[in-house]
Amino acid sequence: MLRRLPFAATAGALLVYNSVELAISAGFGALAVPAAALLAGPVLWAWYRPVAAWCAMVVAQVALTGLGLALDGPSMLVPQPWLLNQTVAQLPVMYVLALSSPRRVTGIAFAVTLVAESSVTALQHLEPYRAVMGTLSWALSLLVAMVLGHARRARLLDTLRVAEELGRLKVLEERSRIARELHDVVAHHMSVIAVQAASAPYRIEGGVSEPAAKEFAAINVAARASLRDMRHLLGALRGSDEAPATAPQPGLRDLDALVESVRRAGVPVKLVIGDPPPVPSPVVSLTAYRIVQEALSNVVRHAPGAATTVTIAGAGDELTVEVENERPTGTTTPPAGSGLGLVGMRERVTALGGRLTASATEGGGFTVRASLPKGDGE
């Protein structure tokens, strides 16, 4: 949330300033540098461990005041927590503590800081007016730092919550879209089964026996019932009255047209399909098509003009889909996308029990590789 350099610069400036200030005004002599390091150390440490840095800050302030009392001379200024050089060392620590901790923790820390350092300061027997005004101004400055830290913490938490909700919504939308497409594939084939089961007794030469006709009729009824249930379920998933499509979804057979359309967009694409061509199930074929489609869309947006190779291979029971592009030919600013590219591909692959990897290549390109179970072919 915070950059390290401002803390290092502040700690360095406090170390130099306090070394001179403590040596001249407080009479610390050779102890000035170690004492200044006690004040500056928690500032640098707050970037890593806010609570531990606060504990070190309180101990350092108490020790510094106690050491000043032990070295007190007639013309020496005993360190006091409301002095500028010490207050500046406390403000960053309290700010980061409030930024990274709940209000209960910072409230306790604020009270402990006031009590611990005020108790030691009370040993100096200062004028009441000076002690009261100094304590009030010091407490107010610490309170302001805490309020600013809590305000930023609240904004960050709100932003994280909104981002989390948007991410969850995008995932749900993508899953809904995947479910619709899978439904369209299954619905098409279920419709074919229902029609074939209903017409089989009339298409078989010589007719069929009565038990066989009843069996075909039962298959037809079951297919229609399954199709109706799927449509009802998808209707609830859509949340609208939009009727689901039953046309076949694209698959591996449509990759040539897809690659050609990308070539027309200015991206040299080479399509390599294994021999013999793999024949996966319709769902796997649709998933492979969508992975290639999204990967090529990413190439068009983020690496225009980059030579790209699409490889489809079937080895054993797996279908391998790989899209690899080289370094883009020019420097461009890609348009902002929906952020669903890789999310959608991972959701599709995970739904089928496959594996997906997406990573940059050593040559400056990018590779998307998916391994999918073939299933039963058409």
- Res 320 pLDDT > 80: yes
Residue 75: the pLDDT is: 41
Do 367 and 327 have their domain in common?
A: yes
Q: Side by side, which strands form the sheet with 318-325?
A: 269-273, 308-315, 318-325, 366-373, 355-360
In a domain, 208, yes or no: yes
Over residues 82-139, the pLDDT tens digits come to 777 788 888 889 998 888 888 888 889 888 888 887 777 777 767 777 778 878 888 8
Q: How confident is the model at residue 248 (pLDDT cuts 50, 70, 90)?
A: low
Residue 336: the pLDDT is: 45
Asked whether the bond before 276 is cis by omega within 30 degrees of 0, the reply is yes
Do 230 and 118 have their domain in common?
A: no
In a domain, 138, yes or no: no
In a domain, 160, yes or no: no
Q: Environment class of residue 304 by beta-carbon count within 10 Å: exposed (0-12), middle (13-18) or buried (19+)? A: middle
- Res 141 pLDDT > 80: yes
The CATH number that applies at residue 325 is: 3.30.565.10
Residue 312: the pLDDT is: 92
The structural domain count of the chain equals 3
Do 59 and 105 have their domain in common?
A: yes
Do 290 and 348 have their domain in common?
A: yes
In a domain, 136, yes or no: no
Do 225 and 258 have their domain in common?
A: no
Please tell me the least confidently modeled range out of 69-78, 112-121, 218-227, 348-357: 69-78
pLDDT (mean) for 5-29: 80
Do 268 and 352 have their domain in common?
A: yes
Do 256 and 226 have their domain in common?
A: no
pLDDT (mean) for 136-165: 87
Residue 309: the pLDDT is: 94
In a domain, 53, yes or no: yes
In a domain, 121, yes or no: yes
Alpha-carbon span 245 to 183, nearest angstrom: 9
Do 285 and 357 have their domain in common?
A: yes
> Which of 208, 238, 268 is a domain's end point?
238
Alpha-carbon span 211 to 333, nearest angstrom: 68
Over residues 218-230, the pLDDT tens digits come to 888 888 888 777 7
- Res 369 pLDDT > 90: yes
In a domain, 162, yes or no: no
Domain hosting 65: range is 4-126
In a domain, 163, yes or no: no
Do 220 and 257 have their domain in common?
A: no
Q: Environment class of residue 127 by beta-carbon count within 10 Å: exposed (0-12), middle (13-18) or buried (19+)? A: exposed
Here the tokens at position 236 are 């609830």
Do 207 and 307 have their domain in common?
A: no
> Which of 65, 99, 126 is a domain's end point?
126
**Three-state secondary structure string covering the chain:** CCCHHHHHHHHHHHHHHHHHHHHHCCCCHHHHHHHHHHHHHHHHHCCCCHHHHHHHHHHHHHHHHHHHHHCCCCCCCCCCCCCHHHHHHHHHHHHHHHHHCCHHHHHHHHHHHHHHHHHHHHHHCCCHHHHHHHHHHHHHHHHHHHHHHHHHHHHHHHHHHHHHHHHHHHHHHHHHHHHHHHHHHHHHHHHHHHHHHHHHHHHCCCCCCHHHHHHHHHHHHHHHHHHHHHHHHHHHHHCCCCCCCCCCCCCHHHHHHHHHHHHHCCCCEEEEECCCCCCCCHHHHHHHHHHHHHHHHHHHHHCCCCCEEEEEEEECCEEEEEEEECCCCCCCCCCCCCCCHHHHHHHHHHHCCCEEEEEECCCCCEEEEEEEECCCCC
Please tell me the least confidently modeled range out of 66-75, 215-224, 297-306, 369-378: 66-75
Residue 335: the pLDDT is: 47
Over residues 179-237, the pLDDT tens digits come to 767 666 666 667 777 777 777 777 777 777 888 888 888 888 888 888 777 777 666 65
Over residues 292-312, the pLDDT tens digits come to 988 988 888 888 888 999 999
Do 234 and 259 have their domain in common?
A: no
> Which of 238, 271, 287 is a domain's end point?
238
Do 291 and 226 have their domain in common?
A: no
